[in-house]
């Protein structure tokens, strides 16, 4: 049975995340670094989700419906400044996917997010960043020859399609002027928060 109060709460948290992101992006301040306001939203959302997850497990489809489960995933996926939280969520999310309570692409995205933040190669090719040509490209992939089969197994389209979508939706105004400096700052931030 759907817990409507929990579902609505998760949707409100996800909506706050996306509205904050959109507002900061429109102002041109989102992509300079991890914006303090965005970080605060992510941390507050993570704290709210963690209370529930540790008490009752992952809020999957049976409890919060498809949209509520996706909102919970988005909260976990976006909490990039909280390595222990994301790793904890991954364990719960993988168990929920195994039980058929969430789509398998959700833990796949979180696996790739964690690996990329740790400075390791991703599995499914879901994480992108600007490349030397000024295009959005997947971050390094562990087994590029097998990536489309791995993506298919979790319900994701071929990587070539994902690249086209990413490049079509990328705002070129957000490209870093100095790619090397952008990458250096990202590595320093990852060390600071405990990813590396």
Q: Indicate whether this model's pTM tops 0.85.
A: yes
Q: What is the pLDDT of residue 174?
A: 84
Nearest-angstrom CA–CA distance, 117 and 124: 14
| pLDDT tens for each residue of 69-85 | 999 999 999 999 999 99
Nearest-angstrom CA–CA distance, 166 and 117: 19
Whether the Cβ atoms of residue 79 and residue 45 lie closer than 8 Å to each other: yes
pLDDT band at 87 (very low <50, low <70, confident <90, very high): very high
| pLDDT tens for each residue of 149-192 | 999 999 999 999 999 999 999 888 888 889 999 999 999 999 99
pLDDT band at 43 (very low <50, low <70, confident <90, very high): very high
Beta bridge partners of 137: 129
For residue 100, pLDDT over 90 is answered with yes
Q: What is the mean pLDDT of residues 38-66?
A: 96
């Amino acid at each position: 049975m759907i817990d409507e109060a929990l579902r609505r709460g998760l949707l409100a948290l996800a909506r706050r995340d996306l509205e904050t992101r959109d507002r900061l992006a429109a102002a041109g301040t989102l992509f300079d670094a991890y914006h303090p306001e965005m970080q605060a939203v992510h941390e507050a959302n993570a704290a709210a989700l963690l209370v529930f997850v540790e008490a009752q497990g992952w809020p999957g489809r049976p409890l919060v419906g498809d949209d509520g489960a996706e909102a919970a995933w988005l909260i976990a996926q976006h909490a990039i400044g909280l390595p222990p939280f994301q790793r904890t969520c991954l364990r719960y999310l993988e168990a929920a996917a195994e039980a058929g309570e969430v789509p398998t692409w959700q833990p796949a995205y979180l696996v790739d997010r964690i690996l990329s933040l740790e400075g390791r190669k991703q599995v499914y090719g879901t994480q992108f960043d600007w490349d030397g040509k000024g295009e959005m490209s997947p971050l390094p992939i562990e087994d590029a020859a097998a990536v489309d089969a791995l993506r298919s197994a979790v319900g994701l389209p071929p990587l070539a399609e994902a690249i086209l979508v990413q490049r079509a939706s990328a705002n070129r105004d957000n490209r870093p002027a100095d790619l090397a400096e952008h990458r250096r700052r990202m590595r320093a931030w990852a060390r600071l928060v405990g990813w590396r």
